[in-house]
Structure formats: C-alpha cells, structure tokens
C-alpha cells in the first residue's frame, strides 16, 4: 500500500506541485499554517527520520537544498522561515512518509509551546 504522498507523486491524488525532480517533490500543504507552507518529500518512501539510512544522506541533504531554493523563489529567504520534520507520536507526525515542512511569510513565533 503506497503512502498518501506517493499517491500524490504518482498523480493519483491532486496537489499543487511547485517542484519536482527525480529525487524529491514539493507541493503546497493542504492545510497551511503560514502564508508559505510547502512540503518537500523524497520520492523514496522513508517512513520517519528514524528510518533514514546512511545511504540516504545525500537525499536528505538534497531536501534541504531544494527547501532553500523554494524559500528563495517564494520570496521568504531574506526575512526567514522555519523548516520542520515531525517524527512519530510525540513529534506530531501524521503522514508516515518523510517530509520537510517549509513555512514562512510571517514571523513563525516560538519554536514550541512551552508547558
């Protein structure tokens, strides 16, 4: 069973795709938490950060260079932005296909809610 994001990559579920190459895809989050909210997703189905292998290091680095490029193209690079990867239950992960959130276009506030 392919993941939700693989279904987007395969074109089975529509999404507002802003970038794709042979390693990653980026599309707008369906429920944006900021004026710019993109998800950068590897084509390879890696469920969580816990599943990243040494062989994936170049791929994960590529996710970040794509994020920086998209931040620049979105006009938020100079003011700044936030990159987030949630992992498992306590991290608040909902989709178990690795993805990097790129969020900006407003001050993003405190990093986490302090309890």
Tell me which residues are annotated as active site: 99
Under the binding rule (CB under 6 A), the answer on residue 56 touching ligand 5GP is no
Under the binding rule (CB under 6 A), the answer on residue 31 touching ligand 5GP is yes
Q: Quick one: CA dihedral 68, 94, 105, 114, positive or negative?
A: negative
Under the binding rule (CB under 6 A), the answer on residue 93 touching ligand 5GP is yes
Contact 103, 33 (CB under 8 A): yes
* Minimal distance, residue 25 CB to ligand 5GP, in Å: 11
Instruction: Tell how far CA 30 is from the center of its chain.
Output: 12
* Minimal distance, residue 30 CB to ligand 5GP, in Å: 3
Give one word for 39, left, alpha or beta, with left for phi > 0 and alpha for psi -120 to 50.
beta
Of the pair 54, 109, the CB lying nearest ligand 5GP is at 109
Among 94, 111, 112, 113, which residue sits at the site for ligand 5GP (rule: CB under 6 A)?
A: 94
23: Cβ–Cβ under 8 A, 6 or more apart, which residues? Answer: 42, 43, 44, 59, 62
Under the binding rule (CB under 6 A), the answer on residue 27 touching ligand 5GP is yes
114 by DSSP, 3-state: which?
coil
Which chain residues interact with ligand 5GP by CB under 6 A? 4, 13, 15, 27-31, 39, 86, 92-95
């Amino acid at each position: 069973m392919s993941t939700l994001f693989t279904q987007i990559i395969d074109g089975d579920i529509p999404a507002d795709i802003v970038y794709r190459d042979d390693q990653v895809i980026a599309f707008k989050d369906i429920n944006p938490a900021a004026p710019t909210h993109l998800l950068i997703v590897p084509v390879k189905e890696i469920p969580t950060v816990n599943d990243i292998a040494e062989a994936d290091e170049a791929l994960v680095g590529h996710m970040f260079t794509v994020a920086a490029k998209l931040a620049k193209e979105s006009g938020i690079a100079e003011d700044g932005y936030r990159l987030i990867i949630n992992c498992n239950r306590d991290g608040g992960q909902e989709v178990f296909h690795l993805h990097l959130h790129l969020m900006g276009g407003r001050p993003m506030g405190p990093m986490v809610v302090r309890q």
